[in-house]
A and B are shown apart, each in its own frame.
Chain A
Amino acid sequence: MDEQPQAYRDPMSRTAVRQLLWLGAISVAAFIALMGALAWASSITGGSAIAGRAIDFDTGTITRALAQEPPQLDSTRATDSVSIFVLGHIMEGLLRYDASNRLVGGVAERWDIRPDGATFWLRDDARWSDGQPVTAHDFVFAWRTIVDPANASEYAFILYYVKNGEAINGGQMAPEALGVTAVDDRTLEVEFERPVGFFDKLVAFGVYLPVREDFYRSRNGRYAADTEDLLYNGPFMMTQWVHGAHLRMEKNPQYWNREEVRLNVIDMPYVTSDTTAVVNLFKDGSIVSATLGAEQLDDAMKLRWNIGRYSDGSVFYIDFNFRPERLTSNFHLRRALQLVNDSGELVNKVIALPGYLPAVSLFPVWLTGVEGPFRQEYPAPVVTPNLAAARQHLELAKQELGVTEIPPLVLLTGDAPIANKQAEYFQNLFTRTLGLEIRIDKQIFKQRLDKMTSGDFDMVAAGWGPDFADPLTFGDLYASWNGNNRGRYNNPELDEQVRIAQNSVEPRTRMDAFGEIQRILIEDAVQLPNYERGLVYVEDPRLRGVVHRSVGTDPDYSNAYLVENP
Chain B
Amino acid sequence: MSVAIRFSAADFEPAVAGDQLQTSSRPSLSYWQDSWRRLKQNRRTVGSLWAVIALGVLTVAGPWAWPVDPAVQDVDQISQAPAWPSSALIVPAYTPWAGITATPTRAGEVVANLRLAEPGSTQAVRLVWEPVAGAAGYVVYRSVYDTAPDRALGLPIGEVLGGDRVSFEDRLDLEPRGYWYSVVVVDENRAEQEAYAVLAVDLVRTVSAEEATLRGWVEEGAALALGDRIELPYHPLGTDYLGRDMLARLLYGARVSLFIGVVAPLLFVLVGVVWGSAAGFMGGRIDQLLMRIADFVIALPFLLFMILFKIAFGIGPGESGVFPMLVALVLLGWPSTARLVRGQILQVRQEGYIAASQLLGARTGYLVFRHMIPQTMGVILVTLTFAVPSAIFTEAFLSFIGMGVAPPTPSWGSMANEGIRTMLSHPHELLFPAVIISVTVLAFNLLGDGLRDALDVRMRGRE
Which positions in A face B, CB cutoff 8 Å? 2, 100, 294-295, 297-302, 304-309, 344-345, 347-350, 352, 354-355, 373, 384, 408, 410-412, 415, 417, 420-421, 423-425, 427-428, 431-432, 438-444, 447, 536
Counting chain B CB atoms within 10 Å of each CB, the highest count among A428, A438, A443 belongs to A428
- A295 to B424 Cα, complex, angstroms: 7
With a cutoff of 8 Å between Cβ atoms, the chain B residues found around residue A410 in the complex are 317-318
With a cutoff of 8 Å between Cβ atoms, the chain A residues found around residue B152 in the complex are 301, 304-306
Out of B78, B317, B401, B424, which one reaches A439, CB within 8 Å?
Answer: B317
> A301–B401 contact, CB under 8 A?
no
Closest B residue by C-beta to A347: B172
SS of B interface (majority): loop
- Which stretch (B68-76, B276-284, B359-367) binds chain A? B68-76
Closest A residue by C-beta to B426: A295
> B425–A298 contact, CB under 8 A?
yes
With a cutoff of 8 Å between Cβ atoms, the chain A residues found around residue B399 in the complex are 442
B137-159 interface with A by 8 A CB criterion:
142-145, 150, 152-157
> A301–B78 contact, CB under 8 A?
no
> B319–A348 contact, CB under 8 A?
no
A440-B317, A442-B402 known; A536-B155 Cβ under 8 A: yes
Q: Mark B236-253, 1 if CB is under 8 A from A, else 0.
A: 000001100000000000
With a cutoff of 8 Å between Cβ atoms, the chain A residues found around residue B190 in the complex are 100
Out of A344, A373, A427, A443, which one reaches B402, CB within 8 Å?
Answer: A443
> B408–A427 contact, CB under 8 A?
yes
> A301–B161 contact, CB under 8 A?
no
- A443 to B315 Cα, complex, angstroms: 12
| B421 within 8 Å of A (CB atoms) | yes
A295-B424, A350-B242, A439-B317 known; A301-B145 Cβ under 8 A: yes
With a cutoff of 8 Å between Cβ atoms, the chain B residues found around residue A423 in the complex are 407
Q: Which 3 A-B pairs have the closest CB atoms?
A: A439-B318, A441-B317, A304-B152
With a cutoff of 8 Å between Cβ atoms, the chain A residues found around residue B318 in the complex are 408, 410-411, 438-441
> B78–A350 contact, CB under 8 A?
yes
> A299–B150 contact, CB under 8 A?
no
> B462–A417 contact, CB under 8 A?
no
- A421 to B429 Cα, complex, angstroms: 15
Min Cβ gap B139→A in Å is 9
| B87 within 8 Å of A (CB atoms) | no
With a cutoff of 8 Å between Cβ atoms, the chain B residues found around residue A297 in the complex are 155, 425
> A301–B242 contact, CB under 8 A?
no
With a cutoff of 8 Å between Cβ atoms, the chain B residues found around residue A444 in the complex are 307, 400-402
Name 5 extra pairs, CB < 8 A, besides A301-B145, A384-B96, A444-B401.
A294-B422, A295-B424, A295-B425, A298-B424, A441-B402
> A354–B145 contact, CB under 8 A?
no
Min Cβ gap A163→B in Å is 38
5 contacts between A and B (CB under 8 A): A309-B155, A345-B75, A349-B173, A352-B173, A438-B318
- A216 to B71 Cα, complex, angstroms: 59
Closest B residue by C-beta to A349: B75
- A304 to B152 Cα, complex, angstroms: 5
Out of A299, A300, A428, A432, which one reaches B242, CB within 8 Å?
Answer: A428
Out of A308, A345, A347, which one reaches B156, CB within 8 Å?
Answer: A308
A100-B189, A352-B78, A440-B317 known; A536-B242 Cβ under 8 A: no
Min Cβ gap A293→B in Å is 8
With a cutoff of 8 Å between Cβ atoms, the chain B residues found around residue A294 in the complex are 421-422, 425
Closest B residue by C-beta to A443: B402
- A427 to B408 Cα, complex, angstroms: 8
B288-340 interface with A by 8 A CB criterion:
307, 316-319
A348-B172, A536-B155 known; A421-B241 Cβ under 8 A: yes
> B407–A440 contact, CB under 8 A?
yes
With a cutoff of 8 Å between Cβ atoms, the chain A residues found around residue B76 in the complex are 349
With a cutoff of 8 Å between Cβ atoms, the chain A residues found around residue B157 in the complex are 354
> A352–B172 contact, CB under 8 A?
yes
- A282 to B229 Cα, complex, angstroms: 45
Min Cβ gap B179→A in Å is 11
- A305 to B155 Cα, complex, angstroms: 9
- A2 to B154 Cα, complex, angstroms: 64
With a cutoff of 8 Å between Cβ atoms, the chain A residues found around residue B40 in the complex are none
| B460 within 8 Å of A (CB atoms) | no
With a cutoff of 8 Å between Cβ atoms, the chain B residues found around residue A427 in the complex are 407-408
| B423 within 8 Å of A (CB atoms) | yes
With a cutoff of 8 Å between Cβ atoms, the chain A residues found around residue B78 in the complex are 349-350, 352
| B171 within 8 Å of A (CB atoms) | yes
With a cutoff of 8 Å between Cβ atoms, the chain B residues found around residue A352 in the complex are 78, 172-173
Min Cβ gap A341→B in Å is 14
Closest B residue by C-beta to A444: B401
| B406 within 8 Å of A (CB atoms) | yes
Min Cβ gap B78→A in Å is 6
